[in-house]
Amino acid sequence: MDSPLHVSREGAVMVLTLNRPKVNAFTHDLTVALQKALAQAAREKDVRAVLLNANGRAFSAGQDLTELQAVEGESLRHHLQVTYNPLILQLRRLEKPVLAALHGAVAGAALGVALACDLRIAAEGTQFLVGFSGIGLAPDSGVSLLLPLMMGLGRATEYAFTNKPFGAEEALAWGVVNRVVPAERLHEEALAWAQELAAGPLTALGLTKRAFNRAIMPHLEAVLDYEAHIQDIAGRTPEHHEGVQAFLEKRPPRYT
């Protein structure tokens, strides 16, 4: 079976490529592979920047719901504590630039992963979806902190409540992404930017990231822990069960 994550090098840039066609849905194996790759990036002195991208038609549709069904009845809190929570903390604590190259769909937990990166470049036509309310859940993966921080509380509330998508140009205008480029130029532009970052003053960039973390999100770890707590509550509700069933049956959910 092909690896869910490809790890390669382009000079001083470590390139991490999600590789779960068709839509790169996140599984336990994929999140653990990302954790290991980021730990490797932190250890290796000749890695000076990380580029996170994806094969296929989408960056990622978020958590694999088939796998999520398998953990139903177990603790969603525990699921988050071993998958997304440590991954989000790694992305924020890695004192090297992390750039996400986004295309297609960026939804749910994948949105949290993208927002936890330092910078984001998106292809024209990229669609962003908060996603959680669509299956009767609350935001996790740092989305409850990072999305309002970037786009504002009012917009974040609207898109979390309504579960409607927003596009790349809106994401650029609202500060969710830094650049938007033609789809055919995404990889070229992202790699060039990552190599530019890798050539910068790495210690100063790492300390800048540490300062931003302290100033803007000093309570990130506590937020992730609380997200896991409330997700455990949401995951035990009939709304969540109905939301997942509706998604799998490709019909609108019927909440009562």
Phi, psi angles (nearest 5°) of residue 12: -85, 5
pLDDT at position 72 is 59
Q: What is the mean pLDDT of residues 27-51?
A: 97
Residues 66-88 have pLDDT tens digits of 888 776 556 899 999 999 999 99
Q: What percent of the chain has pLDDT over 90?
A: 89
Give the pLDDT confidence score for residue 1 in this predicted structure: 54
Report d(CA 92, CA 80) in Å as an integer. Answer: 17
For the chain, which domains are there?
A: 5-183 (3.90.226.10)
* C-alpha span between 194 and 105 (Å, rounded): 22
Average the pLDDT over 20-49 and give the result: 96
- The pLDDT score that the predictor gives to residue 254 is 92
pLDDT per residue over 211-240, tens digit each? 999 999 999 999 999 999 999 999 999 999
140-171 pLDDT, tens digit per residue, is: 999 999 999 999 999 999 999 999 999 999 99
**pLDDT value of residue 73:** 56
- Encode pLDDT of 86-110 as tens digits: 999 999 999 999 999 999 999 999 9
Q: What is the pTM of this model?
A: 0.96
